Amino acid sequence: MEPAILDFLGTCAAFYPDDAVDASIGQQRQWYDALCAHFDRPLPTGMATQDRMVEGDIPVRWYRPADIRTETLLYYMHGGGFVVGSLDSHHAICAELADYAGAELVSVDYRLAPEHVWPAAHEDCFAVLSSLLGSGRRVVLIGDSAGGNLAAGLALRARDEGLTGILGQALIYPALGGDLVSGSYAEMSHAPGLTTSDVAYYRTVLRAPGDSPVAHPLHSKSLAGLPPTFITVAHFDPLRDDGRAYASRLAEAGIEVWFREEPQMVHAWLRARHMSEGARAGFEALCAAVTRFAAQD
């Protein structure tokens, strides 16, 4: 593993202990907020942001870079196991993506479990997507971890309900409904940063039905008709094979798909993009894919 990633893991553990899921929800959020604040960065020069409400009561943050080169909107859903995370947790990540792509970006502050179980987070994200598409703009879906699950579920629901205008989806170490017992769930069950028991905990808290393809996209009978897709996973991550399997199924369905496995990375490596060469390369690949999708407008 890259030495910088070992340093990254040490910093993360200092803020967010390995047994964090055993703590109260309030304590988990306090630790996570402190971790995110530590890794926050100054926004790119000229980046403007504005907090708004969509559909009356769903908070979003709108990012507008100084140099806009496309009318396509980027739509970001943050990770955090559906339990932690906010508009602030991925603030700099969203700003840097928007700046690289030369596109406005909207991030959503969806409702969190356990106060709001399935399908609250998905419904919030879908309401925002419907509003963005209804304005006549085209959209690229982006999400990491739990947010990758939400993005993939939105693409499936939009396809099934006949919504058009999604130009692509970028899924970053997504949780897609794997079986929790085989493949990387067994091989990387005690991986640093996220364990298989952590994944099981988050599923239990969310209480999504096991037979829902929107909640568990790997369970979808057909992936035909989905937009072009970029998937990136970390080798040392129990969720790794969710992304591998989804990429394979997309290709079998005839969907244009790009897949990257970051060989030295761990879950949540996006936060290490300014301290690790491997994470920096992975982030640049993500930015390039999002830019390519957005340029189709």
Q: What is the pLDDT of residues 216-263, one digit of tens each?
A: 999 999 999 999 999 999 999 999 999 999 999 999 999 999 999 999
CA distance 177 to 95: 29
pLDDT value at position 1? 74
DSSP classification of residue 56 = T
pLDDT at 36 over 80: yes
CA distance 191 to 94: 26
pLDDT digits (tens, 9 = 90+) for 93-149: 999 999 999 999 999 999 999 999 999 999 999 999 999 999 999 999 999 999 999
pLDDT digits (tens, 9 = 90+) for 39-52: 999 999 999 999 99
For residue 44, give the CATH number of its domain. Answer: 3.40.50.1820
- Whole-structure pTM value: 0.98
pLDDT at 171 over 80: yes
**Amino acid found at 91:** H
Taking CA atoms, 238 is separated from 36, 112, 260, in Å, by 22, 22, 16
Q: Which of 78, 90, 91, 267 is catalytic?
A: 267
Q: Which of 237, 241, 242, 276 is catalytic?
A: 237
pLDDT digits (tens, 9 = 90+) for 172-187: 999 999 999 999 999 9
pLDDT value at position 56? 87
Indicate the pLDDT class of residue 71, thresholds 50, 70 and 90. very high
Strands of 20-153 (E only): list them: 48-54, 58-64, 73-77, 105-108, 139-144
CA distance 150 to 76: 10
Q: Which of 86, 89, 107, 145 is catalytic?
A: 145
**What is the percentage of the chain residues whose pLDDT exceeds 70?**
100
Please give the helix or strand (H or E) that residue 294 lies within, else none.
helix 277-294
CA distance 49 to 43: 10
Burial classification of residue 281, based on how many CB atoms lie within 10 Å of its CB (0-12 exposed, 13-18 middle, 19 or more buried): middle
Q: Which long-range contacts does 269-274 make (Cβ < 8 Å, 24+ apart)?
A: 269/5, 269/8, 269/173, 269/234, 270/90, 270/93, 270/144, 270/172, 271/8, 271/12, 271/36, 271/39, 271/93, 272/4, 272/5, 272/8, 273/93, 273/96, 274/41
Q: 77 with 150: CB under 8 angstroms?
A: yes
pLDDT at 279 over 70: yes
Q: Is residue 274 annotated as part of the catalytic site, yes or no?
A: no
CA distance 39 to 99: 18
pLDDT value at position 297? 65
Q: Is residue 89 annotated as part of the catalytic site, yes or no?
A: no
User: Range of 145's domain?
Assistant: 3-294
Q: Is residue 241 annotated as part of the catalytic site, yes or no?
A: no
Indicate the pLDDT class of residue 296, thresholds 50, 70 and 90. confident
* Number of domains composing the chain: 1
